[in-house]
Amino acid sequence: MHSQNTLHADQSLPADAVLSEVLDGLSQQQKSLPSKYFYDTEGSELFDQICELDEYYPYRTEIAMLPSIAQDVSHMLNEPCNIVEFGAGSLAKIRILLKHVDSISRFTPIDIAGDFLRREADTLQKEFPHVEVYPVEADFTRPVELNTNASLKNIGFFPGSTIGNFTTEAAQAFLTQARETLGNGSLLLIGVDTKKPPAMLHKAYNDQRGITRKFNLNMLAHLNRETGADFDLDKFEHYAFYNPEKGRIEMHLISQTEQTVTVAGNAFEFREGESIHTENSHKYTQQEFKQLASNSGWRSTRHWMGGQQLFSVHLLQAMD
Ligand code: AVI
């Protein structure tokens, strides 16, 4: 399997769009780089390795929860469904739903990485010949035109707690737009990481084998290639911590020395100890997530907790 993640490298983005996002992020007082740039081929492989780590509980906890959730959802459905996955994510996860939910007659994965998407779709189509696999190449953070079939009920699927990588405003915008895309009467099954003791979160994002460190630093190698920047990977260090006020893990890359980085002829000065903010990973209580959903046109009709409250999956219903 390639990547278990749902936010893939948008290598298909025009080079000038990448460059302008990088220049913009590095020009801010708190320097930042968009977390989507983690996911080149190397980064996607590193993310797969993160998912296998003992310390990284979200992936294995959600996977373990899905068979019984799929059975519960299956009992709640009495009409043919189209399952719409935001991001061509883990085949392992969608496979669990396709195996347990008989009423799924169509599967619509949406992803910006077209070649990857079609390959994954092909594999799945062979395995589930009775399901119509209908890939849509698009940026799922923007409104997407589904090839609608009015006789099918749309069920969105957004596992992995990728929603946590969005700011609260972006999460609300995504949920609102997903409500538009999926339409009246739709459902959305979504994985949400929960609040828990900071020490456990700290371990999950600072694993002993240093895979998360490599994953974080790899963004610089990716951007060197993509934009011709001259980040020296030896002069930055991985730093991840829980910010209790914001309820999120923050990942940063800390400059180990005073240095200048050049991107397309633009020089960026770094002080020793200055950071580039590369990722947020928000953790939600059940109440907080319900509130976020209801601000975005969804009602949480049911939720499941796994691994002793380590991870949650919510089933949202579109509000009329
Ligand atoms: C993809 N996403 C849900 C992961 C997370 O936990 O926020 C990305 C990740 N970053 C570091 N480790 C994993």
**Does pLDDT of 1 surpass 50?**
no
Asked whether residue 46 is domain-assigned, the answer is no
The response to whether residue 212 sits with its C-beta less than 6 Å from ligand 1 reads: yes
Beta strand ranges found along 141-258 (DSSP E)? 153-158, 187-193, 236-243, 248-255
Residue 62 is part of which domain span?
A: 57-196+283-318
Q: How confident is the model at residue 202 (pLDDT cuts 50, 70, 90)?
A: very high
We report the CATH number of the domain holding residue 144 as 3.40.50.150
Distance CA 270, CA 261 (A): 8
Distance CA 157, CA 58 (A): 16
| The dihedral sign for the CA sequence 34, 245, 308, 69 | negative
245: Cβ–Cβ under 8 A, 6 or more apart, which residues?
A: none
- Tell me, in angstroms, the distance from the centre of ligand 1 to residue 89's CA: 13
* Inside any domain, residue 25: no
Contact between residue 304 and residue 313 where contact means Cβ atoms under 8 Å apart = yes
Helix then strand count (H, E) for the chain reads 9, 14
Global confidence as pTM: 0.93
Separation between Cα atoms, residue 51 and residue 121, nearest integer Å: 22
Which bin fits 242, alpha (ψ -120 to 50), beta or left (φ > 0)?
beta
Do strands 187-193 and 266-270 pair parallel, antiparallel, or not at all (unpaired)? unpaired
pLDDT digits (tens, 9 = 90+) for 76-97: 998 999 999 998 777 899 999 9
**266 falls in which pLDDT band (50, 70, 90)?**
very high
Domain membership flag for residue 272? no
The residue whose CA has the least distance to atom 2 of ligand 1 is 162
**Residue-averaged pLDDT of the chain:** 93
Query: How confident is the model at residue 14, as a pLDDT?
Result: 67
- The span from the CA of 73 to the CA of 202, in Å, is 33
Based on the structure, what is the number of domains in the chain?
A: 1
What does the pLDDT read at residue 12?
A: 52
- Which of 50, 51, 55 for a ligand 1 pocket mutation test, highest count of atoms within 8 Å of Cβ? 50
Inside any domain, residue 255: no
Structure tokens at 108: 């619509």
> pLDDT per residue over 44-69, tens digit each?
899 999 999 999 999 999 999 999 99
Residues 51/60, Cβ–Cβ less than 8 Å: yes
Residue at 305 is within a domain: yes
**77 part of a folded domain:** yes
pLDDT attached to residue 312? 98
For residue 125, what is the DSSP state?
H
Is the CB of 21 within 6 Å of ligand 1? no
Would you say residue 229 lies in a domain?
no
Half-sphere exposure at residue 116, Cβ-oriented, CA atoms within 13 angstroms? 26
In a domain, 230, yes or no: no
36 vs 162: CA distance, rounded Å = 11
The verdict on the CB of residue 162 being under 6 Å from ligand 1 is yes
Question: How many whole angstroms separate alpha carbon 106 and alpha carbon 94?
Answer: 12
Using CA positions, which residue lies closest to atom 1 of ligand 1?
162
Alpha helices in the chain (DSSP H): 15-27, 41-51, 57-76, 91-100, 114-127, 168-182, 198-205, 211-227, 286-294
